[in-house]
C-alpha cells in the first residue's frame, strides 16, 4: 500500500511540475490570437463556434465570425451588431448596424445584465412619435431618417423636452427608450461601449497578455508575460522535461527497492502466520493493548469468582469480552488450562478464545463477545416468562450444547473433559446459538482411555457427578460431563434450582426426583406449556435429562447417544430407571456406591495427559 502511495505521489509531483512549467512556457500557444477578417480577437473575447477552449474567453464576450469575415456580437435582448473596432488597452468596442438603422434594434435594448456600459452621458430617454401629417420643418432636428418614408416620419423627442409646447396633436406615440446616451440619435448609426470587467488595461498597456488565473477556477484573471517564438518554448520545455525524467527515474528506483523490501517483510509475516496457525495459538495481548481495547476498562459486563469481564473493541466490527483474572485467587492452573485447551478447539458451539494476556502479574482471557449473555437468563420459569425463548428454541439450544460437549469428547485429537457444565457457562450469540465457555477446570486425556485421575473434586455443587466427590461411585470419566449436562437440562426446562420447596407443608424436595415422579406416574408436566407440541418437547428434554443423571456412569448415555435422542422421535423414548429409589441412596449414596464399585472392578485408572 505504501509503495502505491509513493508511486502516486511521484506521479502527481511529476505531472504538476510538467503542467506548471509548460503552462509558463506555452500559455499563449494554448489560447492563441484569433482573427476575423482584419480584426484581431483575443481575451476577453473569443470567437464562438471554433474549437477554442472555454477558458480562452470571458463570459458574455462571445463573437461570431460570419462567412463574409464580418465580426458580430450578440448583446442582451437578442440585439446583434457588427463590430467596427476593439481597443484592448482602453477596453472599448465600437458597434454599428449593417442595416444602417441602429435605432430599429434598440427600442427594447438594455445593458442591465451585460458586462458593457455606455461611454457617453446618459439621458432620461426618448419618446418616438409618428407625425406623418405634421409640418416636417417643425421637427427636423428630431427626425430619425432611417425610419422615415415618403408617407411616414418618425421623430425621437427627448424625455426631458416640454412635450406640451410641441404641436404633437397630429402625431401618434410609437414607443420609448430609456437610459441612452444624450447624442445617441445624432451619432449616425454608431454605438460605443466600454467594459470594466475583466480589467486588463495595465496588462495590455505593457504589451503582455491577459487571461484566466488557474483556468478560471476562482473567476480571477492574471497578466502573463507574452512569450513569442518556438525557440522560447523549446528552451523552457527542455529543462522541464529533463527534470521530470529525473524525478520519474528516482521514483522508479525507489519503487523497485521498496517493493523488494516489502515482499521480504510480507514473506516473514506470512511464514510466522503459518507457524502460529499450525500451532493454533490465540493472540497474545499486552496489558496496555487490553486497556486500549476496553477503553480503559470502561464497560463492565459482569463479575465472577475468578475475575471481572469487560466489553471491548479490537476493531469497529469486532467486539470482544475481556475477562481480567483476579491475582488473589491462585488461578494459575485455571489460566493455563483455559489457554491450552481453547487453543485446540474450533466448533460452532464452543466459544472462541481470541487471545490472552500474561503481562507480569496481569492475566486476562479475550473471548468473542456474546450479546445475549448466558443460558441462565433464559430458563423456563414462572418468574421469567418474558425472557423465555419458547420450547422449540430451548430444544435447539439444548441440542447445540450436546453437540459441543460431544465435540470435546470425540472431535479433538485428545479428549477434553470440561467438569463445569452449567447454565452460567453456556453463552448465547446474537442468534441464540449456544457456546460452551470457561474451561478453567477442564482436563485432557487420551480418547482410547475413558477414565481420568483426579486428586481433588472440581465443578459446581448441584452439577457435579457423584463419582467426582465420592470415590465409592467409581473412577471419574468423561461421563461426568454427561451428568452435569443432564442436571443443567432438567433445571433449564423447569426453571428451578436443583433443590427447591415444591409445595407448602412439604419437606425439602430434590427437584430432579420430583420431575422423575411426574413422568413415572404419567402426570402432566407442571411447568409453563402452551400447546401439545411444546408438551412433547418438554417431555423429551425431561427424559434425556434423567437418562444423563443416572448415579452410575455406565448407565449414562454418551453425548453421541444424547444427540440421537434429541433429534429422534419423542414417542420412542422411554423413562429411564429410577435413580432415586431410596432416600438413603439420594442423600448418602451408600447402597449406590456398592453397586458402582462392582461396575468399576477391573477398570484401569488412566493418568491425565499433560
45 closest CA partner among 164, 157, 200: 200
- Among candidate residues 97, 420, 481, 534, the one labeled active-site is 420
**All three cell numbers of 173:** 406615440
Asked if 557 and 482 touch (Cβ cutoff 8 Å), the reply is: yes
Q: Which long-range contacts (CB under 8 A, 24 or more apart) does 246-250 make?
A: 247/10, 247/13, 247/14, 247/17, 248/10, 248/14, 250/10
Give the helix/strand (H/E) hosting 444.
Answer: strand 443-445
List of residues 6+ apart from 143 with CB closer than 8 A:
136, 153, 154, 155, 156
Q: What are phi and psi of 597, to 5 degrees?
A: -65, -35
DSSP 505-516: T---EEHHHHHH
Of residues 461, 469, 479, the one with CA closest to residue 603 = 479
Spell out where 11-98 has E strands. Answer: 34-36, 39-41, 46-47, 62-65, 71-75, 79-87, 92-96
Residue with cell 448466558: 374
Please give the Cα distance from 609 to 417 (Å, whole number).
12
Instruction: Output the furthest CA–CA distance in the chain (Å, rounded).
Output: 151
d(CA 147, CA 138): 18
Q: Is 420 part of the annotated catalytic residue set?
A: yes
Sorted by sequence, the CB contacts under 8 Å of residue 358 that are 6+ apart come out as 284, 335
CA–CA separation, 87 vs 74, rounded Å?
A: 18
CA distance 485 to 423: 9
Q: In what helix (H) or strand (E) does residue 335 lie, and over which residues does it extend?
A: helix 332-342
Task: Return all residues near 357 (Cβ < 8 A) that are at least 6 apart.
Answer: 284, 285, 286, 287, 289, 290, 363, 364, 365, 366
How far apart CA 185 and CA 120 sit, in angstroms, is: 12
Question: Judging by beta carbons within 10 Å of its beta carbon (0-12, 13-18, 19+), is residue 356 exposed, middle or buried?
Answer: buried
**Which residues have a Cβ under 8 Å from the Cβ of 19 and sit 6 or more positions away?**
none
Q: 3-state DSSP call for residue 326?
A: coil
Q: Catalytic positions, please?
A: 420
Amino acid at each position: 500500500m505504501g509503495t502505491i502511495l509513493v508511486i502516486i505521489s511521484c506521479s502527481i509531483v511529476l505531472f504538476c511540475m510538467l503542467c506548471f512549467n509548460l503552462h509558463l512556457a506555452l500559455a499563449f500557444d494554448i489560447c492563441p490570437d484569433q482573427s476575423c477578417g482584419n480584426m484581431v480577437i483575443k481575451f476577453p473575447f473569443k470567437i464562438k463556434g471554433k474549437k477554442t477552449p472555454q477558458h480562452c474567453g470571458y463570459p458574455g464576450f462571445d463573437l461570431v465570425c460570419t462567412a463574409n469575415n464580418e465580426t458580430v456580437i450578440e448583446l442582451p435582448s437578442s440585439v446583434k451588431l457588427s463590430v467596427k473596432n476593439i481597443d484592448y488597452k482602453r477596453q472599448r468596442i465600437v458597434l454599428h448596424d449593417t442595416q444602417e438603422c441602429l435605432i430599429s434594434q434598440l427600442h427594447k435594448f438594455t445593458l442591465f445584465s451585460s458586462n458593457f456600459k455606455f461611454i457617453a452621458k446618459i439621458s432620461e430617454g426618448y419618446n418616438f412619435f409618428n407625425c406623418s401629417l405634421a409640418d416636417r420643418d417643425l421637427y427636423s432636428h428630431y427626425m430619425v431618417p432611417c425610419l422615415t418614408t415618403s408617407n411616414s416620419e418618425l421623430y425621437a423627442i427627448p424625455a426631458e423636452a416640454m412635450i406640451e409646447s410641441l404641436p404633437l396633436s397630429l402625431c401618434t406615440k410609437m414607443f420609448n427608450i430609456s437610459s441612452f446616451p444624450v447624442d445617441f440619435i445624432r451619432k449616425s448609426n454608431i454605438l460605443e461601449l466600454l467594459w470594466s470587467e475583466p480589467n486588463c488595461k495595465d496588462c495590455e498597456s505593457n504589451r503582455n497578455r491577459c487571461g484566466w488565473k488557474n483556468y478560471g477556477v476562482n473567476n480571477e484573471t492574471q497578466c502573463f508575460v507574452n512569450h513569442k517564438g518556438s525557440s522560447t518554448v523549446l528552451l523552457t520545455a527542455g529543462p522541464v522535461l529533463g527534470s521530470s525524467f529525473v524525478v520519474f527515474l528516482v521514483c522508479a528506483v525507489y519503487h523497485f527497492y521498496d517493493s523488494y523490501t516489502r515482499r521480504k517483510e510480507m514473506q516473514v509475516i506470512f511464514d510466522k502466520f503459518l507457524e502460529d496457525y499450525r500451532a493454533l495459538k490465540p493472540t497474545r495481548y499486552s496489558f496496555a493493548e487490553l486497556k486500549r481495547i476496553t477503553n480503559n476498562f470502561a464497560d463492565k459486563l459482569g463479575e465472577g469468582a475468578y475475575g471481572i469481564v469487560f466489553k471491548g473493541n479490537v476493531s469497529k466490527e469486532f467486539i470482544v469480552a475481556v475477562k481480567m483474572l483476579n491475582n488473589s485467587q491462585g488461578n494459575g492452573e485455571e489460566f493455563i488450562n483455559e489457554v491450552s485447551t481453547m487453543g485446540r478447539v474450533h466448533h460452532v458451539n464452543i466459544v472462541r478464545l481470541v487471545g490472552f494476556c500474561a503481562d507480569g502479574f496481569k492475566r486476562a482471557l479475550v473471548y468473542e463477545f456474546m450479546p445475549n449473555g448466558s443460558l441462565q437468563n433464559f430458563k423456563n420459569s414462572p418468574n421469567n416468562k418474558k425472557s423465555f425463548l419458547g420450547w422449540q428454541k430451548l430444544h435447539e439450544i439444548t441440542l447445540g450444547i450436546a453437540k459441543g460437549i460431544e465435540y470435546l469428547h470425540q472431535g479433538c485429537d485428545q479428549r477434553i473433559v470440561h467438569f463445569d457444565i452449567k447454565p452460567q457457562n453456556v453463552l448465547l450469540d446474537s442468534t441464540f446459538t449456544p457456546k460452551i465457555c470457561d474451561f478453567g477446570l477442564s482436563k485432557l486425556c487420551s480418547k482410547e482411555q475413558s477414565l481420568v485421575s483426579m486428586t481433588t473434586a472440581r465443578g459446581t455443587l448441584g452439577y457435579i457427578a457423584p463419582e467426582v466427590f465420592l470415590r465409592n461411585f467409581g473412577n471419574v470419566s468423561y461421563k461426568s460431563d454427561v451428568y452435569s449436562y443432564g442436571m443443567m437440562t432438567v433445571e433449564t426446562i423447569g426453571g428451578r434450582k436443583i433443590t427447591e420447596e415444591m409445595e407448602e407443608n412439604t419437606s425439602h424436595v430434590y427437584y430432579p426426583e420430583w420431575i422423575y415422579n411426574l413422568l413415572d406416574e404419567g402426570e402432566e408436566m407442571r411447568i409453563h406449556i402452551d400447546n401439545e407440541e411444546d408438551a412433547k418437547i418438554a417431555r423429551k428434554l425431561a427424559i434425556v435429562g434423567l437418562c444423563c443423571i443416572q448415579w452410575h456412569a455406565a448407565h449414562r448415555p454418551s453425548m453421541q447417544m444424547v444427540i440421537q435422542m434429541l433429534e429422534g422421535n419423542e414417542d420412542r423414548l422411554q423413562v429411564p430407571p429410577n435413580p432415586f429409589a431410596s432416600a438413603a441412596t439420594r442423600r448418602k449414596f451408600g447402597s449406590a456406591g456398592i453397586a458402582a464399585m462392582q461396575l468399576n472392578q477391573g477398570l484401569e485408572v488412566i493418568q491425565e495427559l499433560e
